[in-house]
Structures are given as C-alpha cells and as structure tokens.
Amino acid sequence: MAMEWTDELIARLKELWEQGLSTAEIGRQLAITKNAVVGKAHRLGLPPRPSPIRNKTAVEGAAKPARSRAKKAEAAPVTAETEVGTPAPSAQPVEKKKAPAAKTVKAPAEGAAKPTKSKVKADKPASEEKPAKAAALKEDTVSPVAVEEAKEAEPAPAPRPAAPPIPQRKVAPPRRVRGAVERASRQGPTCQWPIGDPGTPEFHFCGATPLSGKPYCAEHAAIAYVKIRDRRH
C-alpha cells in the first residue's frame, strides 16, 4: 500500500482544505507533499481553490500545445490522418473531457477565512537579532572585543532532527517561516550585547534598554566603544 488514506487522514484533509489552508501547508501538517494533497483533494472532489494559473482548458486550442507532460508518451501519433476534406465533427483526438461544473471559482464570497500569509498559529522561534556585527560600525572607535564577538557568531546549528513521523493533530509547522519572523515584534530596542557563546543554549543578548541611538545599554556601550588612541601619531 502506498499511502493509507485513512478516514481520519481524509477528514483532516477536508477540514484543513475547508479552512482554506494552502495545499503546501496542509501537506506539512499531514506530513505529505502538496502534490498528494492536491491529488487527493481532486479525487475527493473537494472544492477547487482559486488557482493562480489561468483557467485555461476552455481556452482555444489554436496556438496551444496540447501537450504537457505527455512529452514522452506523446510522439505525435495523433492519427492526423484526418480524412481529406472531412470536417470531422469531433474535435481533435486530444483530451476533451471536461466537467460541466463551474470551474472558475473566483471569490467564494465567504467572509470567513482569509488565510493569507499571516496565518501563523505557531509560535515563532524568536531568533534574536544578529550580534553586534554591523552595530558598532560608524563609531569612530570600536572595541576589538565586540568585533571578535561578532565574528565568532557562528550560524546556529539549526537543529533539524527530521520531522516526527506522526504529527499529531495540528502539529505546528516546523518549517521555515518565510520572512515573517524577521519583522516580528519591534516593540522596543534592547541591548544587543552578546552574552555567552553563540550556539550554546546559554547564549543570549543583554536585553537591557540601550542608549539612545546605540545598540547597547550604557554598561555595554562603555565596553563596545572604547576610544582608540588617536592613531595619527
């Protein structure tokens, strides 16, 4: 058995589908691919979503290569032997089947779910700002300490112990949250002075209220911005 679409699985698929989640999102929650989701949804006859692509299929077949994925199988045995001068009432031997259903679903006019990108119920793995790196720029004097810290700031190991095989209901999407987190809360600035070794659980930033216009609090700014002796001799 390839994939056991259990009743529960199907039920969840339907539910999520009706909630308006994207196919990819549903797939994540069900630990399957979006293709599986879409495929199954269609087989189940679930209401189609406004597709991003055009509602062709009804468009003219004039300059439209009917081929799509049939590249391999295709090879042109179209039996193009259309009788000479025979206006065959039947169209091309290509596919013609088409559900009489109103395909063009535009706006379901449901004043309900508008799950766009802001549909994030999972807590964000609040990753702190980057270390002082660019912070201490411009300042005519920069503490070597700060520079070192910044340089040492290695990219977090990003623990990815593979997805749990059995995601319980509504498992939070462990996937990357595209650019959402970054612009998260911007309540107020906090001291960005790194404390501890980056990459360790203990690592964190000072977090105190920074000096106006500075990334560090008074205490750390004092360390960060050490005046370098006038180099010009």
Partner DNA sequence: CCCTGATTCGC
Partner DNA sequence: GCGAATCAGG
| Binding interface with DNA (CB under 7 A) | 2-3, 5, 21-25, 32-36, 38-43, 48-54, 57, 65, 67-74, 95, 103, 178
Q: How far is the CB of 146 from DNA (least distance, A)?
A: 33
Residues written for the chain: 233
Residue 87 beta carbon to DNA: minimum distance, rounded to whole angstroms? 25
Question: Closer to DNA at the Cβ: 55 or 141?
Answer: 55
> Alpha-carbon dihedral of residues 188, 192, 195, 201, nearest 10 degrees?
60
2 or 88: whose CB is closer to DNA?
Answer: 2
The CA distances from residue 92 to 67, 74, 122, in Å, are 12, 14, 50
Tokens found for residue 159: 């623990």
Least CB distance to DNA at residue 1 (A): 8
Q: Could you give the dihedral angle defined by the CA atoms of residues 192, 193, 196 and 200, in that order, rounded to the nearest 10 degrees?
A: 20
User: Considering beta carbons, is residue 24 or 226 the nearer one to DNA?
Assistant: 24
HSE-CB of 192 using CA atoms within 13 angstroms: 22
* Phi-psi category of residue 75: left, alpha or beta, with phi > 0 → left and psi -120 to 50 → alpha: left
- Which regions of the chain does DSSP assign to beta strands (E)? 194-195, 204-205
Q: How far is the CB of 99 from DNA (least distance, A)?
A: 9
Q: Which is nearer to DNA, 64 or 232 (CB)?
A: 64
Q: How far is the CB of 81 from DNA (least distance, A)?
A: 21
Please say which residue, 155 or 179, places its beta carbon nearer to DNA. 179
- By beta-carbon proximity to DNA, the closer residue of 76 and 84 is 76
SS3 34: helix
In the bound complex, what is the minimum distance in angstroms from residue 79's beta carbon to DNA? 16
